[in-house]
Structure 1
Amino acid sequence: MNLTIIELDDSYIQQVTDLILNIQQNEFNISISIEDQPDLLAIEDFYFAKGGNFFGAFVRDQLVGTIALIKFDENSGAIRKMFVKKEFRGKELNIAQNLFNVLIDQCRRNNIENVLLGTVSVLKAAQRFYERNGFGKIEKVKLPDRFPIMGADDVFYSLKLK
């Protein structure tokens, strides 16, 4: 398998929305639409313009995974849109870990010390992944005021990089 991870800009919007909505709606039955996620229709404005990023993992020119970071404070960022296509998940291919490592390296290069994220309680494997990577659960009321909460999120994590 030849895995390539690159920055995604607005030219990838269709591929990104197809991948993410399919996983959310069809695989996990999460009641969320593209209208609930306007960031997916304006990747450059929503992520890059604020100092964040959006990465995609490709296998044989097929988008199989994504991860993004919203910089919401001078030294803080929120992980968003971490998804890997079902048939490409697992430790054998390690796509999620590779995406995560690229994003964390980007955070370190840009002096982002606090990384937070929200997820949905039904995504148990994702929660185990975050915990294996050093994240600790945090109560919603303890999130920074500027943390961008998604409506469906009900479990939150925090990681200190320094």
Structure 2
Amino acid sequence: MKIQIQPIGNAYAEQAIDLILTIQQKEFNIPITIQDQPDLLQIENFYTQAGGNFWGAFVDGEMIGTIALVKFDDRAGAIRKMFVKKEFRGKEFNIAQMLLEKLISFCNDNGIDDIYLGTITVLKAAQRFYERNHFVKIEKDNLPAKFPLMSADDIFYHLNID
């Protein structure tokens, strides 16, 4: 199985929306809709033009994972839309790790030293994944003022890659 990770733009919005909403709504019963996530309809405007990026992981042309970076300050970014299709999760495939490494490499190349993210209590495996990758849990009050908050998020992490 050959996994390809590449930057994606608006042309992939439909595939990304399908993957992400299925995981959010059907798998984790998170009451979130596409209306709550307008960024997915304008990937290039929201992510790329602001200095971040959006990546997709593909197997045989099928999108099986996503990760995105919102650059919200000169040297800081927020991880968004980190999702891997259920059948492709785990150490066997290592897709989440590959996506995260692609994002960190982009940060290193683009002078971004601090990465933040928000997640949801119910996503326990995601929290373990971030902690294994040296992210440190922080209080919401300690997030940078410009951090782009998502209403559903209730747990926050920070990683310095300087």
2:133 corresponding residue in structure 1: 133
1:48 corresponding residue in structure 2: 48
User: Aligned residues: percent identity?
Assistant: 62
Moved >3 Å (runs of 4+): none
2:49 alignment partner, SS class: helix
* TM-score, normalised with respect to structure 1: 0.99
Deviation at 1:102, TM superposition (A): 0.4
2:57 corresponding residue in structure 1: 57
How many Å separate the matches in 2 of 1:87 and 1:104?
Answer: 24
Once the two structures are superposed, what CA deviation does each residue of 1:58-108 show, in whole Å capped at 9, x if it has no partner?
A: 011100000000000000000000000000000000000000000000000
| 1:82-93 matched pairs, under 5 angstroms | 82-93=82-93
1:31 alignment partner, SS class: coil
Given the alignment of the two structures, is residue 161 of structure 1 paired with residue 161 of structure 2, yes or no? Answer: yes
Structure 1 unmatched ranges of 5 or more: none
| 1:35-114 matched pairs, under 5 angstroms | 35-114=35-114
| 1:21-40 matched pairs, under 5 angstroms | 21-40=21-40
Q: 1:21 is aligned with what amino acid?
A: L
Q: 1:149 is aligned with what amino acid?
A: L
1:91 alignment partner, SS class: coil
Once the two structures are superposed, what CA deviation does each residue of 1:19-72 show, in whole Å capped at 9, x if it has no partner?
A: 000000000000000000010000000000100000000011100000000000
How many Å separate the matches in 2 of 1:100 and 1:143?
Answer: 20
Structure 2 unmatched ranges of 5 or more: none
How many Å separate the matches in 1 of 2:47 and 2:101?
Answer: 18
How many Å separate the matches in 2 of 1:96 and 1:59?
Answer: 14
1:125 alignment partner, SS class: helix
Deviation at 1:3, TM superposition (A): 0.2
How many Å separate the matches in 2 of 1:22 and 1:151?
Answer: 19
2:18 corresponding residue in structure 1: 18
Output the aligned Cα RMSD. 0.4
Q: 2:105 is aligned with what amino acid?
A: D
2:146 corresponding residue in structure 1: 146
Q: 1:68 is aligned with what amino acid?
A: A
